[in-house]
Amino acid sequence: MDRRTADHPLPCTAKADSFGAALDAISVTTELVDEELKPHLDTLLTVAVEKKRGLAEQVVESGILPVLAQALRRKSSLTVHTARLLAELAREAPVRDSCFETGIISALLTLLLSKDEDLLLHVSRAIGRICYDSNLQQERLLRLGAVPRLVAVLLQHLENNTLLSSCLLALCNLADMGEQDDSKFVWEKSGHFDAGEQVFHGTSQHSFGFVSAVTVVRLNQWSPGQYSVSVEALQRCSTLLWGARNGRQTGWRLPHLGCCPKFYKVIKYSVKNIPKNRSLKAAVFHTFL
């Protein structure tokens, strides 16, 4: 039996065998031939979607992450496939912790310059999951320019609700105020409160509908091509529970600060001069502290 399979058994023997074989085949790959890689990626994706126990540890131990990073950089017919696989693998902490050293993060950020909406969806999901609940990965992604690229994607695809939601959640996770899974949020665009401002409300419903977390993302345009991003995490209770005793409060405010420890934060970066050609060199952000 394969060593990785023995250490972290998968429920089905046949599936475990094919999974181990796929890891072995990818790990020894010297030339990335699409036709040879695709069935192995399909096998890994099937297991990743099913969230089998021990998958993340086996993937990291196998050494395939640098190969997947290389596959992303090639921008071949397998790019979307590989990005989707990484978005699923990034749900697990062992994989997230290995993404920077293996080149996954830099490869994903480069792909945010794509025009393929399917690819952008998987890439933005992967980025949002990688930085979820990890200050180290958040800081790395901020330094590498994740904010301006995500905002550029968001602004160019406002009509694609699924992609919009994924980009907004990634921005929230970069501010350490999001969720791992974008399916928990329902986003609404609040329109323009004034010239150059766009506001998005994301609501996450909790048990019995009594309490919901509300996240507000604001994009403020200073001048052509220059934006700032702010994120607020609020919490609102059912008006039946606290509306009477907090008559002057609205549903979007906390009755007291102790209800929500992470109630407010600003991403202190500007999205500066995002060019129409989306040059890698120009797509950077600057602090305005």
CATH of the domain at 50: 1.25.10.10
Question: Tens digits of per-residue pLDDT, 143-171?
Answer: 999 999 999 999 999 999 999 999 999 99
- Look at residue 64 and tell me if it is in a domain: yes
- 139 and 192, same domain (yes or no): no
Instruction: Please state the φ and ψ torsions of residue 278, each to the nearest 5 degrees.
Output: 55, 50
Q: Is the residue at 175 inside a domain?
A: no
173 vs 266, more confident? 173
Range with the poorest average pLDDT among 7-11, 41-45, 222-226: 7-11
Q: Across-strand partners of 205? A: 212
| Closest alpha carbon to 138 in 98, 172, 94 | 172
User: Is residue 29 located within the same domain as residue 104?
Assistant: yes
- Please indicate, yes or no, if residue 40 is contained in any of the structural domains: yes
The band of 83, judged by pLDDT with boundaries at 50, 70 and 90, is very high
Q: Which helix (H) or strand (E) holds 124?
A: helix 117-130
Specify if 151 maps to a domain.
no
Q: Identify whether the C-beta of residue 116 lies closer than 8 Å to the C-beta of residue 80.
A: yes
Q: 93 pLDDT band (50/70/90 cuts)?
A: very high
Q: Is residue 163 part of a domain?
A: no
- pLDDT of the residue at 96: 94
Q: Establish if 55 belongs to a structural domain.
A: yes
What's the rounded mean pLDDT across residues 52-77? 90
CA atoms of 220 and 223, how far apart (whole Å): 9
**Does 39 share its domain with 139?**
yes
> 75 with 207, same domain?
no
43 and 101 housed in the same domain: yes
Whether residue 184 sits in one domain with residue 95: no
Tens of pLDDT, residue by residue over 175-228, are: 888 777 766 778 988 865 566 788 999 887 655 555 567 888 988 888 777 888
Q: Are 193 and 221 in contact (CB under 8 A)?
A: no
The total number of structural domains in the chain stands at: 2
168 occurs within a structural domain: no
DSSP letter, residue 210: T
Is residue 153 domain-resident?
Answer: no
The answer on 135 and 33 residing in a single domain is yes
* 56 and 137 inside one domain: yes
Do 124 and 10 belong together in one domain?
yes
Residue 243 is predicted with a pLDDT of 36
CB atoms within 10 A of CB 13: 11
Q: Give the sign of the dihedral formed by CA 140, CA 143, CA 147, CA 149.
A: negative
**What does the pLDDT read at residue 193?**
57
Which of 2, 64, 71, 55 is CA-nearest to residue 28?
64
Where does the pLDDT of residue 4 fall: very low under 50, low under 70, confident under 90, or very high at 90 and above? very low
Q: What is the pLDDT of residue 64?
A: 94
Average pLDDT estimate for 25-30: 81
Residue whose C-alpha is closest to residue 47's, from 10, 1, 7: 10
Which pTM was predicted?
0.78
Tell me, yes or no, whether 210 and 278 share the same domain.
Answer: yes
Instruction: Tell me which of 99, 124, 144 is where a domain ends.
Output: 144
* Residue count (the chain): 289
More confident site: 110 or 185: 110
Quote the mean pLDDT of the chain.
Answer: 76
Six-digit token string for 229: 């991003």
Lowest mean per-residue pLDDT among 11-25, 99-113, 207-221, 263-277: 263-277
Q: Is the pLDDT higher at 223 or at 50?
A: 50
188 and 136 part of one domain:
no
pLDDT of residue 288: 32
Choosing from 117, 144, 171, the residue where a domain stops is 144
Checking if the pLDDT of 237 tops 60, the result is: no
From residue 153, alpha-carbon distances to 117, 119, 158, 216, 224 in Å are 9, 11, 9, 18, 16
Residue holding tokens 């919009």? 164
Inter-residue contact 159 to 202 (CB < 8 Å)? no
Q: What is the pLDDT of residue 30?
A: 62
Domain shared by 25 and 136, yes or no: yes
HSE toward the beta carbon, residue 88, CA cutoff 13 A? 19
- 187: domain range? 180-289
Where among 122, 144, 166 does a domain terminate? Answer: 144
The number of beta carbons lying within 10 Å of the beta carbon of residue 85 is: 23
